[in-house]
Structure 1
Amino acid sequence: MNKNMLGLLGLARRAGHLVSGDSCVRQALGKKQVRLLVVAADAAPRTKKIYRQLAQQMQIPLLELAAREELGALLGMTPRAVIAVKCEKLAGRLLEYYQAERSDQPED
């Protein structure tokens, strides 16, 4: 995850456009407030499967980024397996950075 993505996630947190933790994310999903889901790369397989299904059902983009420790540290919290971005513009920018980062990586 590059510095731009980390910075945007931090900005989203400070602006109140980010929720984390299973119950808070599910609540935001229920209220249709989520524009982007971020699941930790080292989250449990069941957690990843659940959020992939929810993202697909609700037609919300999902990114698999960083480790739980890193996501938690970014938010100033304990390790987090899932976070949700509620702002459309920030979600769009994060997706742009993610796609740019992936296109810069050499193919194996």
Structure 2
Amino acid sequence: MDKRLGMLGLAARAGALVSGGFMAEKAIADGSAKFVIIAEDASDNTVKKFENKCRFYKVPYVICSVMDELGHLIGKESRTVIAITDDNFAEQFIKRFEQQ
């Protein structure tokens, strides 16, 4: 498990994230997404789509972990994309990923 993702469960319980392609795409477009996590094993089209959306809307993103692990960390089935919607949680994730 990627230790940088350790706070995902806490963020999920706090209601500070949305998961799944549709909800994440909506959060990016409406400006509520502050940080996006894309699974490494997502399809090439999905990765490209979310990279492009994040760049267009200037949302920081990272590609890491696998779909099953992302889902497990938030207590759900496998997830391709997770969008952090809380400023404080997003700031913490950004710091964690910048350190490595």
Same-fold call, TM > 0.5?
A: yes
Q: Could you tell me which runs of 5 or more consecutive residues in structure 2 were left unpaired when the two chains were aligned.
A: none
Contact 2:39 2:80 in 1 (8 A): yes
- Residue 61 of structure 2 is matched in structure 1 by 62
Matches of 1:27 and 1:90, distance apart in 2:
19
Matches of 2:26 and 2:47, distance apart in 1:
17
Matches of 2:29 and 2:94, distance apart in 1:
22
**For 1:32-47, what aligned pairs fall within 5 Å after superposition?**
32-47=31-46
- Residue 75 of structure 1 is matched in structure 2 by 74
Q: Which moved more, 1:24-33 or 1:35-44?
A: 24-33
Q: Could you tell me which runs of 5 or more consecutive residues in structure 1 were left unpaired when the two chains were aligned.
A: 103-108
Deviation at 1:39, TM superposition (A): 0.1
TM-score by length of 1: 0.86
Matches of 2:11 and 2:48, distance apart in 1:
25
Matches of 2:28 and 2:55, distance apart in 1:
12
- Residue 85 of structure 2 is matched in structure 1 by 86
Deviation at 1:29, TM superposition (A): 2.1
Look up the equivalent residue of 1:28 and give its one-letter code: A
Could you report, residue by residue, the CA deviation over 1:25-83 in whole angstroms, capped at 9, with x for unpaired residues? Answer: 12222321000010001111110000000000000001111000100111111111101
Contact 2:9 2:75 in 1 (8 A): no
Deviation at 1:98, TM superposition (A): 1.2
After superposition, the CA RMSD in angstroms is: 1.1
Report percent identity of matched pairs: 30
SS in 2 for 1:37: strand
TM-score by length of 2: 0.92
Matches of 1:17 and 1:59, distance apart in 2:
19
Contact 2:24 2:83 in 1 (8 A): yes
Contact 2:28 2:54 in 1 (8 A): no
